């Protein structure tokens, strides 16, 4: 446990102090630890994700326990990790405290006595400390105050449920490769492996995703490496259906990496697919996903906002614009997002999204359709971007989309899917 606490402390420091992406920080922490077991790696991920997921609450508790500011930020991060373990973990409490004290000694922080006192004080007064911590909204919801305020302004009383949902563990959904079998066939294969799952259906657009009762490693999924199925959030699976593709069409996925939606479109229809992404390394992941599924596409490294640098001049009948965004709808999968984003970032994202939408519109054929998509729950990136585009583009018509509990194309995160927004536009 000692080494895992130390590694998690370093990860949290990289994210909160240095603004590093959580997955990148985890990868860095695991370098040189090839001897670690899968259980140790999973424990590090749990401590890192969990501490960031409940950072607002844990920080509020720690502030109540401290009588004066800490001189070494590593002490704060170590205490946050240990508090997460004591509140949410399954390890013995004495082991958590003892190892945290040893971790402080290993870091040469000279704060082992303080660490011991703080954690034991928490255990003695847990109930009252937690009750006081949630009196403030950041402690109650574990989000920055600006995020809480923004969602309340947009969603009113429903904002609390959206915030709470973002702190739960995400569901694991599968997409069955229709070229290799049906959802019913794959459900039977899962049952043979004692993996419990159910079908999420939307007959209005022929949609079907499989939702696992409990997440499992991909190497436990039958036929995964043979391309029978893919891991993809159920909300993300609406994109390929809403785009309304048919055999023979020329289709563009403009921000394609890591390629889940690209592959899903190709599974649904035999189209001429061009997949573009500005990150060449991430484009390699698209290639790997397509190869596993037995699919092919033309992969192009390029900026969706500057198509003149890569477009061949041939119009597309369908365009998927899954644009970069705040990712506010997927925070339960990426809890670092809550603490790395700033209010000003939302306006910056919206400006970039509108630029991409304008640029891609020139590539769309007459009567063609463009699906604008984000994984955001902020209206500045969603309805407001689409409204601004429609006000400037007289040849664009906003088509209705069919979604469960549809609110102008907005899917809010729940037990089945993450938060997404979709707007279908047709060139008239």
**DSSP character at residue 58:** H
> What's the token pair of residue 60?
């509020």
Phi, psi of 342 (to 5 degrees): -125, 155
Catalytic: which of 255, 325, 349, 375?
375
Angstrom distance (rounded) from CA 291 to CA 11: 33
CA distance 235 to 214: 18
120, 232, 275 from 319: Cα distances, Å: 57, 20, 10
Name the strand (E) or helix (H) holding 194: none
DSSP character at residue 220: G
How far apart CA 110 and CA 235 sit, in angstroms, is 49
Q: Is 255 noted as a catalytic residue in this protein?
A: no
How are beta strands 316-322 and 364-374 bridged, if at all?
parallel
Cα–Cα distances (Å) from 424 to 203, 215, 330, in that order, read 19, 32, 21
What tokens does 7 get?
A: 């590694």
Report the catalytic residues. 375
């Amino acid at each position: 446990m000692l080494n895992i606490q130390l590694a998690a402390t370093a990860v949290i420091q990289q994210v909160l102090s240095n603004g590093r992406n959580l997955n990148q920080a985890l990868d860095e922490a695991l370098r040189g630890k090839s001897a670690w077991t899968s259980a140790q790696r999973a424990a590090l991920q749990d401590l890192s994700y969990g501490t960031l997921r409940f950072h607002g609450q844990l920080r509020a508790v720690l502030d109540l326990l401290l009588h004066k500011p800490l001189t070494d930020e590593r002490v704060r991060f170590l205490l946050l990790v240990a508090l997460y373990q004591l509140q949410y973990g399954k390890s013995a409490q004495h082991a958590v405290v003892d190892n945290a004290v040893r971790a402080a000694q290993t870091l040469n922080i000279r704060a082992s006595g303080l660490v011991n006192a703080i954690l034991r004080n928490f255990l003695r007064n847990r109930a009252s400390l937690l009750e006081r911590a949630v009196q403030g909204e950041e402690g109650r919801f574990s989000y920055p105050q600006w995020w809480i305020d923004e969602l309340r302004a947009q969603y009113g009383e429903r904002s609390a449920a959206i915030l709470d949902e973002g702190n739960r563990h995400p569901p694991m959904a599968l997409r069955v490769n229709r070229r290799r079998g049906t959802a019913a066939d794959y459900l039977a294969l899962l049952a043979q492996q004692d993996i419990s799952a159910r079908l999420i259906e939307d007959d209005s657009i022929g949609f079907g995703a499989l939702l696992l009762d409990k997440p499992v490693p991909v190497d436990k999924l039958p036929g995964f490496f043979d391309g029978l199925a893919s891991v993809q959030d159920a909300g993300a699976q609406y994109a390929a259906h809403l785009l309304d593709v048919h055999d023979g069409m020329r289709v563009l996925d403009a921000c394609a990496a890591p390629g889940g939606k690209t592959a899903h479109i190709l599974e649904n229809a035999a189209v001429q697919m061009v997949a573009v992404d500005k990150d060449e390394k991430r484009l390699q992941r698209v290639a790997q996903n397509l190869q596993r599924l037995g699919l092919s596409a033309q992969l192009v490294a390029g900026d969706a906002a500057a198509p003149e640098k890569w477009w061949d001049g041939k119009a597309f009948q369908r365009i998927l614009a899954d644009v970069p965004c705040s990712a506010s709808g997927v925070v339960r999968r990426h809890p670092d997002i809550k603490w790395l984003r700033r209010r000003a970032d939302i306006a910056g994202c919206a400006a970039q999204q509108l630029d991409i939408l304008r640029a891609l519109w020139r590539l769309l054929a007459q009567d063609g359709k463009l699906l604008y998509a984000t994984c955001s729950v902020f209206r500045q990136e969603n309805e407001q971007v689409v409204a601004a585009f429609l006000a400037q583009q007289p040849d664009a018509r906003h088509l209705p989309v069919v979604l469960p509990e549809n609110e102008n194309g907005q899917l809010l995160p729940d037990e089945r899917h993450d938060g997404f927004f979709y707007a279908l536009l047709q060139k008239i």
